[in-house]
Every structure is written in structure tokens, then in C-alpha cells.
Structure 1
Amino acid sequence: MTALQISEAAAASGVPVSTPRYSERIGLLEPGRTSSGYRVYDNAVRDRLEFVLAIERLGVPLGRVADVLRARDKGPCSTVRRELREQLVDQVAATLRQIQELRALERRFADGFERLDALPDQATGCSFLRAPHPFTTDPPAPLGAGAGAGAGAGAGE
């Protein structure tokens, strides 16, 4: 197959032209150049682009794709498999942490709804503002404690 220009290679891969340009800028791709300076993608570069895209689709961050590419460049598939497995294990662990954080947030929202639903129907005032904040375990800041009082409450959760 003949070498393709960047727009043709991008179209063949189903990505915008900015994708191979960015991959080149961060050192993942090294396309050839014509005598007039246009990028050209031969089979090897297009194969590398497809490999990068496949790894990205698995959820490996671009910053870590380079590690898998180095493994691919150095040795057999077993090396690539080992490196990619490490990357995926890290991604699964990060995803599980995010799920835990989201579940904790969901519990705080549920607590907030329970507090809202438990509010007495008063003609004036709202005791909810004096109750512990539904999104933190910290005690509420005293009313009138000055500007910024209570700022950042719950930020560490």
C-alpha cells in the first residue's frame, strides 16, 4: 500500500486529523515527510497509529501509551501483554476508587434529601440551615462568623 497524507490516514482510522498530529507532537508517531514537508503515513506508521488508538480505547491514558509502545518496539507480544496488563490493572484500580467516591457522594445526596424531607413546614425560617450540613460530617460554622466561614467544608471528602 502506498503512503497516505495525514488527512487520508486519519480518515482511514476514523479519527480527526488532530489525533495523529497530537500523537506526533507527544512523540507517539513519527511519520515521514515529503520533499515539500507534508506528513506521509506508510504502513508501519499507520499500523502504529492503529495500535495507539486501540490502546486508548481500552482506557489507557495517553501519557502511559508510550510505555506500551516502548514494550512493543523492544520485544515480543509477551512484553506488550505484560505492560498492557499493568496499565489495565492500574485503570481498573482507579475506576474502583472513583466508584467508591461516587457511592459516598450518592450517600451524602441521599442524606441531604432525607434532611430536606424531614424539614418541618414552618411559615418563617428554615431550621435546615442550622442543622449539620448534609454534605459534610464537619459541624456547621456559627452564623455570622465572618466572610469565608465554613469555606471548603467537606472539600477533603
Structure 2
Amino acid sequence: MRISQLVQRSGVPATTLRFYEGAGLLSADRTPSGYRVYGEDAVDRLAFIGAAKHLGLPLEEIGELLTVWEAGACVEVKADLRPRIAARLKEVEQRLAELTAFTTSLHSALEGVTPR
């Protein structure tokens, strides 16, 4: 399928598809006139990339997971994904604790400057 068809089927903008191609996350063949042509698997691949991005994984790690995913080793993908998700969760929980402490600090500061 051409890039416009993939955009329509996946909802991913053409600029993003080109970026993913440049980053090695998505491959496209070329017609003799230079148009990009994607296989049917591109839609599933983009769904995988989108889900991994939603989990907060950087593109480098998504590329590593795609390599395992391409091998068809779903169990291995899950095993590889688990520690990555756990690491992201730990980071988010730490940021949440920091933001909670900051919120408490702001409330205290606000109480100190409230006119009586």
C-alpha cells in the first residue's frame, strides 16, 4: 500500500511514517518512480509502536522490542517488555511523589501569603 493508504488505515501522519522509516522502525519498498510501498504488516507494526510509545518507551527501546517481535517470539517480547514497563512505572511513581511533595509545599506557601 502507498503512504496515503497507510496513513488512512493507521491514523499515523505521513511525516511520522517517514521519521519511523529513517529511525529504522518501519520499512518501505520503493516503486520504480520512487513512491514508498508498505506491506500489510505495517499497520500491525504501527499499532505495536503506538502501544509501546503509550507506555513511555523511547524509540530506541521500541526498536529493540520490534526485533524480538519480528522473530515471532511473543513470550520473549513479553519477558523483555516486563522490566521496561516496571522501570517506567518506578520513574512515574518517583515523579508523582516529587509532585505531591511540591504540591504540599505550594499549599503551605499559599497559606503563608494569604491575607488575614
Residue 9 of structure 1 is matched in structure 2 by 6
Residue from 78, 96, 99 that aligns with 1:99: 96
- One-letter amino acid of the structure 1 residue matched with residue 100 of structure 2: R
Quick one: percent identity of the two aligned structures?
Answer: 34
CA deviation profile, 1:16-63 (whole Å, cap 9, x unmatched)? 112211111111011111111111111133332222122223332323
Give me the TM-score of the superposition, normalised by structure 1.
Answer: 0.67
Query: How many residue pairs align between the two structures?
Result: 116
Which residue of structure 2 lines up, in the alignment, with residue 69 of structure 1?
66
Contact 2:9 2:43 in 1 (8 A): no
| Alignment map for 1:111-150 (pairs within 5 Å) | 111-117=108-114
**Whose radius of gyration is greater, 1 or 2?**
1
Q: Identify, as 1 or 2, the structure richer in helix.
A: 2
Instruction: Give the letter for the 1:84 counterpart.
Output: L
Aligned equivalents of 1:23 and 1:90: distance in 2?
A: 24
Q: Which has the higher contact order (CA 8 A, sep 6+)?
A: 2
Q: Quick one: which amino acid aligns to residue 23 of structure 1?
A: Y
Structure 2, unpaired ranges of 5+: none
Q: Using the alignment, how far apart are the partners of 2:46 and 2:18 within structure 1? A: 11
Structure 1: 4+ residue segments shifted above 6 A: none
TM-score by length of 2: 0.88
Compute the RMSD of aligned alpha carbons: 1.7
Distance 2:52 2:73 in 1: 17
| Contiguous gaps of at least 5 residues in structure 1 | 121-157
C-alpha distance in structure 2 between counterparts of 1:28 and 1:71, whole Å: 12
1:79 aligns to 2:85 (yes or no): no
